[in-house]
Amino acid sequence: MQNWRGFCLSLVALVVAIGTSVSSPAYADSGFIRMSVVKGGWFIGAHGGSGTLIFHGRRYPLSIGGVDAGLVFGLSETEFHGRVSRIRTASDVAGVYGAGGAGAAVVLGARVIALTNNKGALLELEGRQVGLIANLDLSGLVISLR
């Protein structure tokens, strides 16, 4: 009887362990991203550029575009680099990111930003901004794989 009880407990433990491993959420991964974005405007602005996602040792080219609504005066270029997390595939980076921001650059400035898209991808970026610009705006950033 003791052997049967031990066997049943072991079997239940094995079933629970297998069930837990099968039903656990998929593992989200991370990668690195670099992008160059040119931003300009007079009251309403726009930005565009290109970049590269490095994910699982592969490089994926990116296109960046968007519109700024609010107060935007001037022109600048920002070289961003950072980390992208909470992605399962490279295509999870593609999507629409929204942000509110304020900043200024007179010849040289710095930017730090964290953005999330509708797929849950999190971009944590920092960069160097060159140009003459002042902004207080809401931005929509669209990233797509090329």
Convert the pLDDT of each residue in 14-60 to its tens digit.
444 444 444 334 568 999 999 999 988 887 888 899 999 999 999 99
pLDDT(101) > 80: no
Question: What mean pLDDT, rounded, does the chain reach?
Answer: 79
Please check whether the domain covering 28-145 is classified as CATH 1.10.3470. no
Whether the Cβ atoms of residue 139 and residue 101 lie closer than 8 Å to each other? yes
Whether the Cβ atoms of residue 80 and residue 52 lie closer than 8 Å to each other? no
pLDDT(11) > 50: no
Query: How many C-beta atoms surround the C-beta of residue 34 within 10 A?
Result: 17
Domain ranges (residues) in the chain: 28-145
- What is the pLDDT, as a whole number, of residue 15? 45
- What is the pLDDT, as a whole number, of residue 55? 97
Instruction: For 18-42, give the DSSP string.
Output: HHHHHHSPPPPEEEEEEEEEEEEEE
Which one-letter amino acid corresponds to residue 77?
E
pTM of the predicted structure, to 2 decimals: 0.74
